[in-house]
Amino acid sequence: ARFHRLLLTGAAGGLGLVLRDRLPAFAEVLRVSDIAPMAPARAGEEVVPCDLADKAGVDRLVQGCDAIVHLGGISTEHAFEQIVEANIKGVFHLYEGARRHGVKRVVFASSNHVIGFHPQGLQLDADAPRRPDSYYGLSKSFGEDLSRFYFDRYGIETACVRIGSSFAEPKDRRMMVTFLSYDDLTELVRCCLFAPELGHTIVYGMSANREVWWDNAKAAHLGYRPKDSSEPFRAKVEAQPALDPSDLGGKFQGGGFVKAGPFETL
């Protein structure tokens, strides 16, 4: 089963560049969008620049798409006023577009920062209470609630993927636990796009790392089986100096996000 037209937001970002190369297998047409410059359209692609804060623009962006992989937005801690535009209004505009144009499925790039103020080592599953660690984490928590509302009210299915740390390599000790390889990310997105019944699913985006803090038992219906692990990078990561024991970044699941800011805007 392939989609006719699949929308990828955040296509100019780190993960967007990865998925722009990999999602064409799942759709006849891949529509890619970002506010930042993007490479010209290749065969089977449509390139549509758009600011997620622009409601009418997002409505046009979503029109004609069968499913959406929503990566677009601010991806680290920033002032609340900036987060509101890109992430909070942005995710609302996206789901309004989905509702108006009959899109039935969304893969939403949520984040571990919705649970980032839980202590490291505590095991969490999909029903763990959220403890956002930043305005950024709060915006992802809002996106999770908004997507649940659009499922309950309008039947739009969503997978909220609480991505851990998806980079080419884990960069520090915490990311040994939170690492999600690009191949496992691609497989997880594939599982979310093609699961026969998605409903509203919360899933943690991590590889098969030696130590994990998250349990995906409640997302078993996705059939996601990670193949990679952070283990090959252990020696390189552990050659770095350890964090000072007083550093809050070593105490909480969200790492350094728990101490980012404040961002004064007055």
- Positions in the binding site for ligand 15L (CB under 6 A): 75-76, 111-113, 165, 175, 178, 255
Q: List residues bridging with 29 in a β-sheet.
A: 5
Q: Which of 95, 135, 136, 204 is catalytic?
A: 136
Tell me, yes or no, if 136 is annotated catalytic. yes
- Judged by CB under 6 A, which stretch of 29-37, 191-199, 230-238, 242-250 contacts ligand NAI? 29-37
The residue of the chain with the least Cβ separation from ligand 15L equals 165
Nearer to ligand 15L, 94 or 175 (CB): 175
Cβ closer to ligand 15L: 65 or 163? 163
Q: Residue 144 interacts with ligand NAI (CB under 6 A)?
A: no
Nearer to ligand NAI, 60 or 153 (CB): 60
Kindly give the pairing relationship between strand 3-9 and strand 200-205: unpaired
Task: Work out the burial of residue 158: count CB atoms within 10 Å of its CB; fewer than 13 is exposed, 13-18 middle, 19 or more buried.
Answer: buried
Task: Using the minimum distance from each CB to ligand 15L, give the nearer residue, 111 or 186.
Answer: 111
* Residue among 23, 111, 146, 156 that touches ligand NAI (CB under 6 A): 111
The two tokens of residue 39 are: 């490479």
In this structure, what DSSP letter does residue 84 have?
I
Tell me whether strands 27-33 and 45-47 are parallel, antiparallel or unpaired: parallel
In the chain, which ranges are continuous DSSP H helix? 14-22, 55-62, 80-83, 90-101, 135-154, 173-178, 182-194, 234-238
For residue 166, is it left (φ>0), alpha (ψ between -120 and 50) or beta? beta
> If binding means CB under 6 A, how many residues of this protein chain bind ligand NAI?
25
* Whole-number CA gyration radius for the chain: 18
Does position 216 bind ligand NAI by CB under 6 A? no
- Confirm or reject binding of residue 147 to ligand NAI (CB under 6 A): no
Nearest to 173 by CA among 77, 250, 260: 250
The residue to which tokens 């506010």 are assigned: 35
Binding to ligand NAI, residues 35-74 (CB under 6 A): 35-36, 51-53, 71-74
158 makes contact with ligand NAI (CB under 6 A) = no
Distance CA 47, CA 34 (A): 9
- Restricting to residues 228-247, name those near ligand NAI by CB under 6 A: none
Positions marked catalytic = 136
Q: Which residues bind ligand NAI (CB under 6 A)?
A: 10, 12-16, 34-36, 51-53, 71-75, 86, 90, 109, 111, 163, 165-167
